[in-house]
Structure 1
Amino acid sequence: MRSQHLAIYDMDKTITRTPTWTPFLAFAMRRRARWRLALLPWAAIAGLAYVAKVIDRAKLKQTTQKWLLGGSIAADHVATLTNAFADHVVATGVLDQARARIAADKAAGYRLVMATASYAFYARAIAERLGFDDVIATESEHDPAGALTPHIAGENVYGPAKLRAVETWMAKAGLARADCRIRFYSDHVSDAPVLEWSDEPFAVNAHGPLKALARAKGWPILDWRK
């Protein structure tokens, strides 16, 4: 079987200048219900609970979505919000060198895959605009009417869960690991499982712990912020 070439990218702070979840919440609140901005201190409390390890990242994301965006959002409203947000991110928040690398991988025949812990409902819109072929992200539950709820469907695609999600996606896509050449780009040490598993791991815009790990492993260190 012909080898498949995959270029898998993390999104937040790898492709984008900043994380995207808090900016999405602020963007959506300004368009959906400005009065919810008054609840930001409660979201900060949830953040402190996460730092104190009282709650995990999945609970933090679900809690902040419920408090700041409400219990559910109609599907058509979600589409309007996510399309507008994706337009904003792609216009102002994507690193130029990330764009160049994505284009180079595509030109070299790589299948472009975004693998992010961010929510799929807006990550897909961003990925589509950047020319990605596939998206692996944290999925959300929907109510019987199709409205978006704050509840995560399955796992929060973070840390070891990201590798499991990538492997699940590959199995569904009919891609055997032995038949694939995989490069993976990430800024954060939480992605160490996928970096270790890939054939070509790249530490991009790396924070201290990932930079130290990359040096110890001999992985290339790239800085797309310059």
Structure 2
Amino acid sequence: MQNTHTTARPRLALFDLDHTLIPFDSDYSWGEFTSRLGWNDPEAFKRQNDAFYADYKAGTLDIHAYCRFATAAIVRQGEAASVAAHARYMEEVVKKGLLPQALALVQSHQAAGDTVVIITATNEFVTRPIAQAFGVSELLGVALARDDAPGGTGWYTGEIAGVPSFREGKVRRMEEWMAARGLDWSAVHTTFYSDSINDVPLLERADVPVATNPDGPLRALATQRGWRILDLFA
């Protein structure tokens, strides 16, 4: 007799972070915060930060150039000062953006037994404590290279390590994450929440794409394709 029993695929709930789970861009706000600390020239930093952010929204961001810019202050300041400043940033900026409806959405997936992964184009230094505040241990942020040479600082260099989790890179990072666990796309059921047109490659790969607080281009695409639209912060 044929065995008709099938084992349910493990379920993954994937979340972008900025403007998806939190109602602001953590990389951008971290830059503003470090300017207030006097770590940057405020006017020059804001001008360049705004230009990079416009490139991001337009889908033309040079992620390597941006990462060098965004991490320059912590590279200069060193580990102890940077970690202490980030703790202040969490208290003064991030906590007010941890909204109940976003926390509840993450927790609903966790309660259902789904593995929750936050996958973001913001670097791991900025985003790790934010993911932890959501109770999420699996974070795929932009990995930062360290100066691990003999006699080196052991701290970040400003360069990206490996594949940046940006645009098509999010698909590759997810594939690397799954492969390390003996999984592939056919072996899992994936739901992916994102606000950004930059995340179309991963939205297209997910079993259930959810345009969450979507930007204009993504809202139009989601409407055209019949994807679910979730206005979490409405």
Alignment TM-score, normalising by the size of structure 1: 0.86
Describe the shift of the 1:35–1:102 C-alpha distance in structure 2 as closer, same or farther (beyond 3 A).
closer
Describe the shift of the 1:187–1:93 C-alpha distance in structure 2 as closer, same or farther (beyond 3 A).
same
Describe the shift of the 1:49–1:215 C-alpha distance in structure 2 as closer, same or farther (beyond 3 A).
closer
What is the one-letter code of the residue matched to 2:223?
Answer: R
- Could you say which residue in structure 1 is the equivalent of 2:189? 181
1:24 maps to which of 22, 27, 30: 30
Describe the shift of the 1:87–1:6 C-alpha distance in structure 2 as closer, same or farther (beyond 3 A).
farther
What is the one-letter code of the residue matched to 1:120?
Answer: E
Per-residue Cα deviation, 1:44-75 (whole angstroms, up to 9, x for no partner): 58549958999723313322433xx1643422
- Could you say which residue in structure 2 is the equivalent of 1:40? 45
Describe the shift of the 1:100–1:2 C-alpha distance in structure 2 as closer, same or farther (beyond 3 A).
same
Question: After the TM superposition, which residues 33-182 of structure 1 pair with which residues of structure 2 at under 5 Å, given as runs?
Answer: 33-34=38-39, 36-40=41-45, 43=48, 47=52, 50=55, 56-66=62-72, 69=73, 71-143=75-147, 144-182=152-190
Residue 156 of structure 1, CA deviation: 2.9
- Could you say which residue in structure 2 is the equivalent of 1:209? 217
Residue 82 of structure 1, CA deviation: 2.6
Task: Pick which of 196-205 and 54-63 moved more.
Answer: 54-63
What is the one-letter code of the residue matched to 2:100?
Answer: D
SS at match of 1:78: helix
Gaps of 5+ in 1: none
Gaps of 5+ in 2: 1-6
SS at match of 1:85: helix
What is the one-letter code of the residue matched to 1:215?
Answer: T
Per-residue Cα deviation, 1:155-176 (whole angstroms, up to 9, x for no partner): 3321111111111111123333
Q: Using the alignment, how far apart are the partners of 2:12 and 2:59 within structure 1?
A: 35
* Residues 94 and 130 in structure 2, CA contact (< 8 A), matched pair in contact too: yes
Per-residue Cα deviation, 1:66-91 (whole angstroms, up to 9, x for no partner): 3xx16434222332223332344442
- Structure 1 or 2, whichever has the larger Rg, is 2
- Number of residue pairs aligned between Structure 1 and Structure 2: 223
Task: Pick which of 74-83 and 9-18 moved more.
Answer: 74-83
What is the one-letter code of the residue matched to 1:113?
Answer: V
Alignment TM-score, normalising by the size of structure 2: 0.84
Percent of aligned pairs with the same amino acid: 30
2:15 maps to which of 9, 12, 17: 9
Per-residue Cα deviation, 1:89-139 (whole angstroms, up to 9, x for no partner): 442113332111111111111111000000111211110111113000101
